[in-house]
Amino acid sequence: MRTTIGVFTAWVALHSLTVGVVAQTTAIRAGVLVSPEDGTSSRDQIVIVEGTRIVAVGPDVPIPAGATVIDLSDQVVLPGMVDAHTHMALTMDRAAHGSYFVTTVVGSTAYRAIEAVANARSMLEHGFTTIRDLGNSGNYGIADLVRAIERGVVPGPTMLDAGRIIAPYGGQLQLQPERRDLAEPEYAFADTRDELVKAIRENIHYGASWIKVVVDDQPYVYSVDDIRFVVEEARRAGLRTAAHAVTERGFRNAAEAGVASIEHGFEASDEALQIAKDNGVFLVGTDLMPLAAEMWEVDEAFRQGLIDRIRRAYRIGVPMAFGSDVFYSRPDRSRGEVSLMHLDPYVEAGLPNEKILRMITVDSAELLGVGNERSRIEPGYAADIIATTGNPLEDIAALKGVTFVMKNGSLFRWDRKP
């Protein structure tokens, strides 16, 4: 049987080579080309894209004969954005009173996967060319969306998927003994080393490219050794680990264990943030959830504490990636629009525009492990390119007005003037 599968795979690979098509060449005239890596702008640049890749960039680059020319000479051109914390298959609204339980009872995995298609399309439409989905997708609903996007069945960003969230019993929920199954299949509860190994391997088997653990939403938490065990087990298969941690204790444990990123970290002290910096652990702040205040009461002192935490993390030098953590809907705004509202806390915290821009592009791509391939407009990189009418180095809010989106060299959006 294995021999038959191997022969079939080899035939498919050979066949795909023999029926390949000539790569399309595109020339983009950029009025201003922004480099988030060093916070600089260059005027009147030409970007040549061949197939899925950028092959040349510069002011005097010749445009190949027969190339499709896209005139963005009155626009600001920059790499596509990255959202490192999304939930494409989770949409809670006022009708559900913001209830996870109502969402999972009413919405099947299939329906939520269809919602995820729409949400992913919206993210791409608003300039997010790469995202990481961190669970809450039913029974691996996102795994099939990743495959569908990769095969060109539906449009969407490049997606990395964490599969089922691994957590101590109960995860992020308070269960009732009569309905213990309400947490399934969203979470994989694991309280022993054997259970941790099984949860990690099942996730990988079903398509996960990241592992996510909930560290501290119960009185019992994963220890430093527990988390380090998860990190090492995932690493053996080539995956990295993200840790959900909202308390000081959970943040410190995750930082000491050397996870790749800590999500939220609302109560992190300066000492804990320093540990994260020393260990190269990214903070994905998911700060404020601006529109969530419409469903839940948000204490102003708590909100100000989050703003202060951003300032402290920036001052200490903790590596930071952008993550919106949007899991709710609003009738007058799409998922992509709501996600971009999460730039506002960083502005309120006083971070420089160049820092915020780098965070939502180059730094987030580095965390996700695609920094050597995406979020730079340079020869050899994937042609993930967006444009805005304003320069985000001057006003970061310009990112909320994306007018052009190209992903992997394919044009997805272009708001041409009439």
8 — pLDDT class (breaks 50, 70, 90): very low
Mean pLDDT score of the chain:
90
Residue type, 112: R
Tell me which of 63-67, 149-153, 193-197, 303-307 is least confident: 303-307
Token pair for residue 167? 């957590």
Token pair for residue 218? 């119960």
Instruction: Over range 288-297, report the average pLDDT.
Output: 60
pTM (2 d.p.)? 0.92
Instruction: Over range 7-15, report the average pLDDT.
Output: 39
Q: How far apart are CA 334 and CA 340, in angstroms?
A: 10
Degrees (nearest 5) of the Cα angle 43, 402, 154? Answer: 125
Q: Given this model, what pLDDT does residue 105 score?
A: 65
Q: How far apart are CA 129 and CA 381, in angstroms?
A: 13
Tell me which of 10-14, 127-131, 200-204, 325-329 is least confident: 10-14
User: What structural domains does the chain harbor?
Assistant: 22-79+379-414 (2.30.40.10), 81-368 (3.20.20.140)
Q: How far is CA 143 from the centre of its chain?
A: 15
Phi/psi of residue 234, each to 5°? -65, -40
Return the SS3 of 136: coil
Q: Given this model, what pLDDT does residue 172 score?
A: 81
Among the listed residues 345, 244, 246, 243, the one whose alpha carbon sits nearest the alpha carbon of residue 291: 345
Q: Pairing between strand 187-189 and 165-167?
A: parallel
Please determine, for residue 47, whether its predicted confidence score (pLDDT) is greater than 80.
yes
Rounded alpha-carbon distances, angstroms, from residue 294 to 108, 153, 290, 298: 25, 35, 8, 9
What are the tens digits of pLDDT across the range 75-105?
999 999 999 999 999 987 655 545 666 666 6
What are the tens digits of pLDDT across the range 99-122?
666 666 677 899 999 999 999 999
Q: How far apart are CA 296 and CA 303, in angstroms?
A: 13
Instruction: Over range 44-71, report the average pLDDT.
Output: 97
Return the SS3 of 36: coil
Residue type, 94: R
* Residue whose structure tokens are 């996102």: 142
Tell me how long the chain is. Answer: 418
Q: Given this model, what pLDDT does residue 303 score?
A: 84
